[in-house]
Chain A
Amino acid sequence: MNPIRKKRLMLILLALAGVGVAVGMALLALQQNINLFYTPTQIANGEAPLDTRIRAGGLVEEGSVQRDKDSLEVAFKVGDGSKSVVIRYAGILPDLFREGQGIVALGKVNEAGELVADEVLAKHDENYMPPEVAQALKDSGQFQHYQGGDAKETAQ
């Protein structure tokens, strides 16, 4: 390669490295704002701001879903393995909502430390499988192993 081209190439690489560092530092500074949701542990530790709308994410705990008989109101616990937070919601839940599923709820935390949500989204994990395979995994008790990927992802 002749010297002029080498110099131009170096200049481009240097500029790219400079921009990369700048963007990297900006993203690092914005770390908290880019996260879509707070985990239950963060909410329990008081890291989440009160009196503003926040998102909470985690796994719906087994056996915690309580539906109101006369309305669409529903309350359930969302946990990340160590802490959990109660979420209240009135409305239609997404199709994928079920116990053990990862969800993200948008709402305000009230005095009792419960999140009053006005939007509940289901989080889908990266695992795809045919129904027969899922059934076979459930039967052999291996299914939780597959769900583990989502739990880890949500609990970060």
Chain B
Amino acid sequence: MNWTWFHKWGSPKWFYEMSGAWLRALAWAAAVLLLLGTVWGLAIAPQDYQQGNSFRIIYIHVPAAFLAQSCYLMLAVAGVIGLVWKMKLADVALQCAAPIGASMTFIALLTGAVWGKPTWGTWWVWDARLTSMLILLFLYFGVIALSQAISNRDSAAKACAVLSIVGVINLPIIKYSVEWWNTLHQPATFKITEKPAMPMEMWLPLLVMVLGFYCFFAAVLLMRMRLEVLKRESRTRWVRAEVEGRA
């Protein structure tokens, strides 16, 4: 098997040169998709027969919850790559993604609470889905705190990678919590592999929002990673040339 495409990622310089163009494309895609999805979801999609307009919070809640989990999976994959292949960029990705994932988890919990008050009659209930999502938020906080607490960069990278990998156990628990136990939270409405539990005119704007959130996440992650790479490699010749060339 040819591994050259993979080993290229070991070079921060190669990453910095390539990611500029990706960043531009992703930022545009995110702006267009989020704008389209917001207008479509909030203004054009029909009301729900039971919840009326309050169901529209799904257009933020579901994409944020998707991202919160995908981002954690990404942390774990980056953790494995960092531990096994000792790639510097893996730790950069892990450190830069953790705060974004934490914000997404927070948004999912907050929008869920705002929706839960009128629909269920309570802001919060300790059911399996809500609790496992809260644990995910604490796992993100753990990764962030751990990287700040250890001053040696290599030890911090190792500790964060291990925590990310162990925490990945929580992801199937979040996903299947609504099926394994009696919960107040309903099963998934937005499905890709099966027929979704909502009509097309509600589902399509949600799909657009989900894709928009992914592009937004990727764009913000690349932005943060490029800055972090410049900081970490600040003593190398190519970074000096890059910074001085701009100045």
Contact = CB atoms under 8 A, between A and B. Distances in A.
Given A121-B120, A134-B49, A126 B182 contact: no
Interface string B42-70: 00001111110001001000000000000
A63 interface: no
A79 interface: no
B202 interface: yes
Interface in A115-156: 119-135, 149-150, 153-154, 156
Contact of A131 (B47, B125, B165, B197): B47
B166 A19 contact: yes
A20 interface: yes
A9 B84 CA distance: 6
Contacts of B46: 130-132
Interface residues of B, number: 40
Contacts of B201: 130
B225 to A, nearest CB: 23
Given A126-B187, A126-B197, A128-B55, A121 B121 contact: yes
Interface in B119-167: 119-122, 125-128, 165-166
A23 B169 contact: yes
Interface residues of A, number: 44
B136 to A, nearest CB: 14
A79 to B, nearest CB: 15
A25 interface: no
A149 B46 CA distance: 22
A126 B58 CA distance: 11
A131 B49 contact: yes
Nearest to A153: B187
Given A23-B169, A120-B121, A134-B49, 4 more contacts: A8-B84, A15-B166, A16-B165, A126-B197
26 contacts: A5-B84, A9-B84, A12-B165, A15-B165, A15-B166, A19-B169, A20-B169, A34-B181, A36-B126, A36-B127, A36-B181, A39-B182, A95-B121, A96-B51, A120-B121, A121-B122, A121-B184, A123-B184, A124-B119, A126-B186, A126-B187, A130-B46, A130-B49, A130-B199, A134-B49, A149-B187
A-B CB proximity, top 3 nearest: A94-B121, A134-B49, A130-B46
